[in-house]
Amino acid sequence: MKELAIVTSNQGKMQEFKAGLEPMGYKVTQLDVDCDEIQTDTLEEVVKSCVAQVELMGYNDFILDDSGLFLNNYNGFPGVYSSYVFKTIGCKGILKLLDREPERSARFECVIGCSIQDVGRIFVSGSCPGWIDFNERGKEGFGFDPIFVPDGASKSFAEMSMEEKNKVSHRGIAMKQLEEQLKWRMGDR
């Protein structure tokens, strides 16, 4: 079994990565190191910068991600600033922002960066379209999960089991792409 370290202090992300990657044959461990998130407009730029920083610390065989909630009617706000916005105003603040808005479409996006010795860097992304509900629902997940309902679903992310969420979520989709890239690049090593 190949080992991958997940660079995160977020236990919710850690659990999603474990649930998504361990069935693919990876032993998942946590690497709790910090990188300075650059101020930029795209998740990909943040991830590329953090991967380079973690490599400079001397680590390899790791993955990390940056994810965000993008409100379509607000030019993608909060996007790359989702973590800060969640800590500042939370789900209740987003619900208040959209209080009288008929247009509630949104999407979650995720970019995963991976650095594997003898393979190099891999970057993949996933997106999950949906909408912002009128109330918080559910106790699972983390962040904006209680207010986000993926297209075609009746449950919010916070009402879904980890398995249900990983099948449709932005991070779950990106993990599947990562698995394909790892299989292609690593072969049967």
- The helix (run of H) or strand (run of E) holding residue 44 is helix 43-56
Q: Is 6 helix (H, G, I), strand (E, B) or coil?
A: strand
Quickly tell me which residue has 């922002």 as its tokens. 97
Instruction: Report how far residue 189's alpha carbon sits from residue 185's, in angstroms, rounded to the nearest whole number.
Output: 10
Instruction: Report how far residue 121's alpha carbon sits from residue 51's, in angstroms, rounded to the nearest whole number.
Output: 8
Instruction: Report how far residue 62's alpha carbon sits from residue 181's, in angstroms, rounded to the nearest whole number.
Output: 14
Each residue of 42-59: b (16+ CB within 10 Å) or e?
A: ebbbbbbbbbebbeeeeb
Q: Is 181 exposed, middle or buried (0-12, 13-18, 19+ CB in 10 A)?
A: middle
Catalytic residues: 66
